[in-house]
Each structure stands twice: as structure tokens, then as C-alpha cells.
Amino acid sequence: MMDNKLDKQKHFWQKGFFSQEEVRFYLLTYFGTFVLFLLAVLLMQIVKFEIPLHQCMPAIGAFIMIGSSSGKLGIRNFIKDFHLPKVSIKMSIISIVLIYCAFLLTEFLVSLTGGQHVSLGMNLGNFSPIIFLMIILGSVGEEIGWRSYLLPKLSARYGRICGSVVVGILWGLWHGNFYGEGLGFVFYVLTTIELSIIFTWVFENTNRNLLNVVVLHTAFNTIGLLFSSPFTLTYRLISCAVFGVIAIALVVNSKVFRLDLID
């Protein structure tokens, strides 16, 4: 275990934290997202609803990087690693219940502070099957890039905890969600780090099954749309605290992260 830790430190100092491939992937994803976002805005004038093309950029970036380095065979092997037929129904149910309870607790705590509390029914009028399909599309696009492509690379070198934290930081910065002013953005990125740990827990507990993390991502975005308060600084803080408790509990108690703690 000590040798493993020394290998990680040696890799960092000799080669840098990120490989050149990972840097190119992130830059391609980050700047390509702006292009697809502008295209999505133009398409919205035609179809009258938002197609989350920009959320597909992590997947597009992953396929471009793999295709350029390993060709069609590499892409086929990458798709095989999605383990699509092996989706865990049990983990899908756990994911949905976990996210629902987290939002429920967040809403309850926000109401205790005197903040605006949003009941489930208040946002149902803004929801439709088309919106749900777009949420699924966006979730697939993000998870292929962040979880199926980038996370295994970082976890292999630095462990699942460090890999999850780094992916969470990059994920949060990529979203660029500045609601709640500067401090609100800090809480937002902290929350994406916490979510990244939760997503890793599901990902690794299902043999890195893509569909299971897509279910988790879809549940988060759907429940968040239906059952969430305005993005105030108070909301960001409480949400960060709730998901932080869940993430810490998983790191301390789950076998997925236990070897990292021992190292």
C-alpha cells in the first residue's frame, strides 16, 4: 500500500497531475460547450423547447479523444465498458429515493430559515414528457464524459476519492453556474464535488454501469426541477451541507472508498 502511494506521488511530480489527453479532453469539452450552447439557442427558436446539445459535449469530447488515439476499435471497447445490459434495478431505486430524500430535507431546512419553500406541485406545470426526455439526453451526454471516460483514468492513478473530487471540481467549473453571486458559486462547486463522490459510489457499486449513473443524474435533475427553491445563497449553503453529509457518510462507510482511506 505504501508503494502504491509512492507511485501516485512519483507520477504527480514527474508527469503532472493530468495527462495531455485529459487536458485536451477538458479544453475540447469546455470550449465546445459554448458552441453547442449557441446552436441550442438557435434551435430553440425553431422547435420551441431547449435541446441540451451543450450537455452532450462531454460525450462528444470523449469519443473524439478515443477515436483519435485508438480508432474504431477503441470506440467499440469504450462502448462495451458501459455494461448496458447489467443495469441494477436495486441501485436505481436507491438512487431515486436518496436524491428525493436529500431534496426533501433541503427544502425542509430552507423553510426553517424563513426562505421560500417550494412544494412539489408548484413546479409540475413547468414539466412535460419532452422536458424529461431532454433531461435524460443531457444526463447521458454528461455521464459518458465525466464518469465513463474521465473518472476511471483519474481513479486508476490517484484513487477513487481523489478522482471523484477532481472530476467534481472540473464538472462544477464546466457548468459555470454563477447563481447566488461569488460565494454561491463556491457552494455550487462544493456540491458538485459531493455529488461526484455519490455518483462514483453508484458507478463502482454497479461495475461501472453507465445506465445506473444516468438514472441517478436524471433523478437529480428531474427532482431538482420539480421540487426545489430559488437558487439563493441560503439554498446553496443548505444543499451543500445536506449532500456533504451524504458524501462523507459514503466515504467513511462504503467499501468503494475504504482502500483509499487505508492507503
Measured between alpha carbons, how far is 82 from 246 in angstroms, rounded to an integer?
26
DSSP E strands in the chain: the ranges are: none
Residues 6 or more apart whose CB falls under 8 angstroms from that of 53 comprise 36, 37, 39, 40, 43
For 102, residues 6+ apart whose C-beta sits below 8 A from its C-beta are 242, 243, 246
pTM of whole model > 0.85? yes
Q: Could you give the percent of the chain with pLDDT greater than 90?
A: 65
Provide the pLDDT confidence category of residue 2 given band limits of 50, 70 and 90: very low
Query: Please, what is the end-to-end C-alpha distance for the chain in angstroms?
Result: 6
- The answer to whether the beta carbons of residues 191 and 102 sit under 8 Å apart is no
Mean residue pLDDT of the chain comes to 87
Distance (Å, whole) CA 200 – CA 147: 8
How far is residue 160 from each of residues 12, 25, 67, 99, 260, measured CA to CA in Å? 16, 20, 26, 21, 7
Cell numbers representing residue 105 in the block: 430535507
Tens of pLDDT, residues 228-259? 666 678 888 999 999 999 999 999 999 999 87
CB atoms within 10 A of CB 146: 25
The string of pLDDT tens digits covering residues 131-158 is: 899 999 999 999 999 999 999 999 999 9
pLDDT band at 107 (very low <50, low <70, confident <90, very high): confident
